[in-house]
Amino acid sequence: AKDEKKTRDEGGNYDIGLQDAGDGVVTRFPPEPSGYLHIGHAKAALLNDYFAHTKYKGTLILRFDDTNPLKEKQEFQDSIIEDLALMGIKADMKTHTSDYFQELYEHCIQMIKEGNAYADDTLKEDMAKEREKFQPSKRRDASVEENLGHFEEMKAGTEEGVRWSIRAKIDYASTNGAMRDPVIYRCKPEPHHRTGTTWKIYPTYDFCCPIVDSIEGVTHALRTTEYNDRDAQYQWFLKTLKLRHVYNWNFARMNFIRTLLSKRKLTKLVEMGKVWDWSDPRMPTVRGIRRRGMTIPALQEFILKQGPSKNIVNLDWSTFWATNKKYIDPVAARYTAVVIAHKCPVTIIGARAAPYTEDKDKHAKNKDVGTKKVVYSANVIVDQEDAQSFEQDEEITLMNWGNAIVRKISYSLSPLDVVKSAVGSAPKVVSALELELHLQGDVKKTKKKVTWLSTDQDLVPVELVDFDYLVTKDKLEPEDQLEDFLTRETEFRTSALADCNVAELKEDDIIQFDRKGFFRVDKPFLHGQPAVLFQIPTSAKARPD
């Protein structure tokens, strides 16, 4: 903890730096346009942006790593640009790995000609076995001419060509698996979303990365720590092709409990209909967590606080949402809602004969949030739960009004409760209450602060929606079948009535319903249709009880 302090700045952020860096650094964020950005990608993007624009004055490249024609779509590419903008990240340059297909092709030819790469038609499984056993491929020592010939077949996308791939000739006996002659080119006669049918061969990520980084002037290539073993290979490509040096800088992959951060698995959830779409509030996508009520400054703070840590931990969502609460609590306007089921009607004794309205602060501690109308009258409703807690002659506080004394409690039994009462476990439902105002009473002395709503106003119907984690297990192991660990019910809706001010709320507003927690407006109140609000978590539990 002592060391930790030293490396944090006044803002509590890690003071992280890159080796041999200063103004002029060039970093890049290289997403594959095969899905929407998730919170793990957000970490990579924010770190790259931090070095290029905050820590140093440099350049950030957004590079679409579009070398896999089967998985990529324009839709995903557009969404990535939008989501980066949402996070306040603007790249100085936007490129595509496919912009360099010609150069990459030429570099592969150079590799073959200099005896540093060879064509191989060993079957995939056999290749894996040979690599496991440190055995060379039978094609390893083929002549340059033979290799060039196979590469030409691949380039033409012929039936013969698709059987082959090109491998770097590094060291089949290396203790580092990444050095055991990795594949650098594959033949895939599928059209590409940008280059169409021009190419039938596609370079692998391992081959593209060092070459394109070097060509584009990247000074520091940030990668997650799973790439540690691949750093040697990356540096080997630079050296072998006599390219400009680039530093590798590794950071920990971000994982969260009960959360999938793999585009493949997230795609599956969308396709299975377990979620509405990629921006579903249950999804760990940038869109999803924003829709759930995460604010961007909180996301930035949370991620930069992870800093340079190289420990891969399974993060709990609680710190994430606690960080968010710090940002929303001081500014979220306060309103009132009462759950419709079992709402309890109350007669207020001593209230003025005619309803009247007063302006009250929307936030007790922050006048800048503005004021709202509070309607006072003799007819109000309270939550059943509160009503059930009252005792005869108890003094309670009606929030935003003052104290009142419980004068009369009427009970009723619902049909179900009649059955339950036969076995002696019936909760008594309060069917009506009479509260007598006692405004001279001290609000500091009461135990119960109760939310209430006058029914002499246009109450706004609202739907409060809460969500649970999509998966039931903290950490899914590779052998776990996703289908076996999906939470059955993850969406919970409660109908409530809210004060008249809620009619004015707009999409994306973040508010608090007194004593119910924070909510983000997903759908405003319109044409008599209930407003839809999503509960914003503030603790470890995805779903408060």
Listed in order, strand segments (DSSP E) in 169-324 are 183-187, 201-203, 220-224, 247-251, 255-256, 314-315
**Contact map string, positions 412 to 431, toward ligand ATP, x by CB under 6 A:** --------------------
Smaller CB distance to ligand ATP: residue 139 or 265? 265
* 314 interacts with ligand ATP by CB under 6 A: no
Q: Indicate whether 213 belongs to the interface with ligand ATP (CB under 6 A).
A: no
Which among 198, 201, 245 is positioned nearest to 104, based on CA atoms?
201
CB of 27 to ligand ATP, least distance (A): 11
Contact 260, 485 (CB under 8 A): no
Which CB atom, from 200 or from 223, has the smaller least distance to ligand ATP?
223
Q: Is 303 in the site for ligand ATP (CB under 6 A)?
A: no
Q: Going residue by residue from 246 to 285, which x/- string records binding to ligand ATP, judged by CB under 6 A? A: -------xx------xxx----------------------
Q: Which of 13, 32, 49, 77 binds ligand ATP (CB under 6 A)?
A: 32
Question: Of the two residues 73 and 373, which places its CB atom closer to ligand ATP in the complex?
Answer: 73
DSSP secondary structure string for all residues of 21-32: --TT-EEEE---
Supply the minimum distance, in Å, between the C-beta of residue 31 and ligand ATP.
4
Nearest to 44 by CA among 54, 29, 34: 29
Q: Are 103 and 111 contacting, i.e. CB atoms less than 8 angstroms apart?
A: no
Q: Which is nearer to ligand ATP, 86 or 331 (CB)?
A: 86
| Residues contacting 231, CB < 8 A, separation 6+ | 223, 248, 250
Give the span between the Cα atoms of 54 and 60, in whole angstroms.
11
DSSP class of residue 330 equals T
Q: How many residues bind ligand ATP (CB under 6 A)?
A: 15
What is d(CA 393, CA 389) in angstroms, rounded to the nearest whole number?
12
Q: Count Cβ atoms below 10 Å from residue 315 Cβ, excluding itself.
A: 16
Q: Which of 27, 30, 290, 303 binds ligand ATP (CB under 6 A)?
A: 30
- Nearer residue to ligand ATP within complex by CB, 43 or 362: 43
Nearest residue to 383 (alpha-carbon basis) of 447, 465, 451, 455: 451
Query: What is the distance between the alpha carbons of residues 37 and 128, in angstroms, rounded to a whole number?
Result: 31
Nearer to ligand ATP, 253 or 420 (CB): 253
453 binds ligand ATP (CB under 6 A): no
Q: Is residue 112 close enough to count as binding ligand ATP by CB under 6 A? A: no
Q: Does 41 bind ligand ATP (CB under 6 A)?
A: yes
Which range of residues in 27-35, 95-103, 196-204, 394-402 is near ligand ATP by CB under 6 A?
A: 27-35
Question: Could you tell me the smallest distance in angstroms from the CB atom of residue 221 to ligand ATP?
Answer: 9
Contact between 381 and ligand ATP by CB under 6 A: the answer reads no
Q: What is the three-state SS of 221-256?
A: EEEEHHHHHHHHHHHHHHHHCCCCCCEEEEECCCEE
44 near ligand ATP (CB under 6 A): yes
* Binding residues vs ligand ATP (CB under 6 A): 30-32, 40-41, 43-44, 65, 223-224, 253-254, 261-263
